[in-house]
Structure 1
Amino acid sequence: MPEMKIAFVAGRSPKAQGALEILSHIYPHVSPEEADVLVALGGDGFMLRALHRYLKLKKPVYGMNRGSVGFLMNEFRPDNLLERIRNAASINLHPLRLEAFCVNGERHHALAFNEVSLFRETGQAAHVRVSIDSVVRLEEMVCDGVLVATTAGSTAYNMSAYGPILPLGTGVLALTAISAYRPRRWRGAILPHQASVEIEVLNPQKRPVGATADSTEIRNVLRVKVHEDRSLWSTLLYDPEHNLEERILREQFAH
């Protein structure tokens, strides 16, 4: 079996940098461009940044938690790293693609592995119209915002907004309201992954709205289009005893 070439990428926190120093002394390593596998050291936020930064390399990513929650990460242990990577299970994550049309005439594109969200920018509630596959489903929603989440992102901000937790591999997206005032009891919807979501901002001058795709922020949007881009993917590796399916299932029964 040819020797596995690994690259270490780490967040800036002392814990992540300490882990980088330890592993760099134990294992031979190369640049991300030369590697077979990327080992990401940090928390979930750093993992998302790594997925974006190295997406075009199409290298699998094995994360080890040096952050707080570490939902997307494996346990940090310096020993037997190569064996753990060889025995790891994998899952492909497809990002959401955001196209945003702004008040000033600009158009922006961004990707999101967790969610695309829209938020009010002032103290006044946002008024938005929601269409799915060119069919208007909500003529007007009054809310703090609305988000579209992937299965992997359904346990992040989507869960905090009382959106549904989506098992991996189910081929669906979550459309979730953020503090909806009207329709009063509308909590959201579960959409097929191939659905195209369009959200129009009503009265954007008086009630401005911004859009966020993971860490990319866009101000003063008129409307946005969101769909899952199946032509792009990033492969996550995880220990069989620490798999994402089990963690998502546990979240649904958490107290």
Structure 2
Amino acid sequence: MHQQRSRKTFAFVSSGAPDAEEAVAMLSATYGDVSVEEADVIVALGGDGFLLQVLRETMGTGKRVYGMNRGTVGFLMNEFRTEGLDERIETADAETIRPLEMETVSEGGVTSRALAINEVSLFRQSYQAAKIRITIDGQVRMDELICDGVIVATPAGSTAYNLSAQGPIVPLDAPLLALTPVCPFRPRRWRGALLSNRSTVRFDVLEQPKRPVNAVADHTEVKSVLSVTVRESATLTATLLFDAGHSWDERILAEQFRY
């Protein structure tokens, strides 16, 4: 006699948008709803920004997150449907995501830390272009980058702001980080670099405070930084579920062949 497989429990969470709230109500009525702490799978209803928020909040807990699009972009999300959720999650492809750890130093030696699933970005704060020195694993690789900003993107973030800045798309399982300038002025033709995900990247802001720079880890901003150090976390992970046949790798290939 076959033992009946126990049904997975879901926690439905919403971005707060009307479409997302309506979706949570429908799904909860159909599948039941438990707390995030009790759930086997967290189902996030909203857009990519909300999904990233859920991933950050559950980082390191071992919880699996399945997103359904009730937002605008939804590149990281699955298609919204109310039927067959058990089967979709049972056959879903799981991808492990490691966040970036950002450490900043500001005036007076004040330090702050934040996590980024998509990218760490530096931006000029005023009309003056930023001047930034780039050091990789203790070796200065660029004495002076004059630019509007610079990005370190994870594979998950490579299709977001990094792509808009003409950075490369990186497969989710590639052990790489994308280093991409934003509107580089000098050297004008530098288009960035692909780095090992074991690299430690340090940015030093030159001519500060004449050319002030802000640093952003996803949605956490630190103003007027002197230096920023970025590395992939060695310990923290999040697990994201994609519908079978619509994995991250498939989306990456489709994105690269759009014309």
Shared fold (TM-score greater than 0.5)? yes
Return the alpha-carbon distance in structure 1 between the equivalents of residues 68 and 207 of structure 2: 45
Unaligned runs of 5+ in 1: none
Return the alpha-carbon distance in structure 2 between the equivalents of residues 87 and 146 of structure 1: 38
Partner SS state of residue 163, structure 2: helix
Return the alpha-carbon distance in structure 2 between the equivalents of residues 160 and 104 of structure 1: 35
Residue type matched to 2:80 in 1?
F
Task: Tell me how large the CA RMSD over aligned residues is.
Answer: 0.8
Deviation at 1:253, TM superposition (A): 1.6
Partner SS state of residue 26, structure 2: helix
Question: What is the match of residue 98 of structure 1?
Answer: 102
Q: 1:178 aligns with which of 176, 182, 204?
A: 182
Return the alpha-carbon distance in structure 1 between the equivalents of residues 199 and 164 of structure 2: 23
Residue 78 of structure 2 corresponds to residue 74 of structure 1: yes
Return the alpha-carbon distance in structure 1 between the equivalents of residues 80 and 124 of structure 2: 38
Q: 2:219 aligns with which of 202, 215, 218?
A: 215
Deviation at 1:54, TM superposition (A): 1.6
Task: Provide, for residues 180-202 of structure 1, a one-character-per-residue CA deviation record: whole Å limited to 9, x for no partner.
Answer: 00011001000010000000000
**Does the 8 Å contact 2:88/2:244 carry over to 1?**
no
Return the alpha-carbon distance in structure 1 between the equivalents of residues 195 and 96 of structure 2: 19
Residue type matched to 2:211 in 1?
R
* Alignment length (residue pairs): 255
Residue 137 of structure 2 corresponds to residue 129 of structure 1: no
Residue 148 of structure 2 corresponds to residue 154 of structure 1: no
Deviation at 1:3, TM superposition (A): 2.3
Task: Provide, for residues 54-110 of structure 1, a one-character-per-residue CA deviation record: whole Å limited to 9, x for no partner.
Answer: 214220001100011111110000001111111111010000000000124310000
TM-score, normalised via structure 2 length: 0.97
* 1:1-255 equivalent positions in 2, closer than 5 A: 1-255=5-259
Q: Percent identity?
A: 53
**Does the 8 Å contact 1:33/1:57 carry over to 2?**
no
**Does the 8 Å contact 2:60/2:237 carry over to 1?**
no
Residue type matched to 2:193 in 1?
A
Return the alpha-carbon distance in structure 1 between the equivalents of residues 214 and 143 of structure 2: 20
Residue type matched to 2:58 in 1?
Y
Return the alpha-carbon distance in structure 1 between the equivalents of residues 160 and 102 of structure 2: 18
Return the alpha-carbon distance in structure 1 between the equivalents of residues 240 and 6 of structure 2: 21
Return the alpha-carbon distance in structure 1 between the equivalents of residues 53 and 61 of structure 2: 14
Return the alpha-carbon distance in structure 1 between the equivalents of residues 233 and 109 of structure 2: 24
**Does the 8 Å contact 1:115/1:214 carry over to 2?**
yes
Partner SS state of residue 224, structure 1: strand
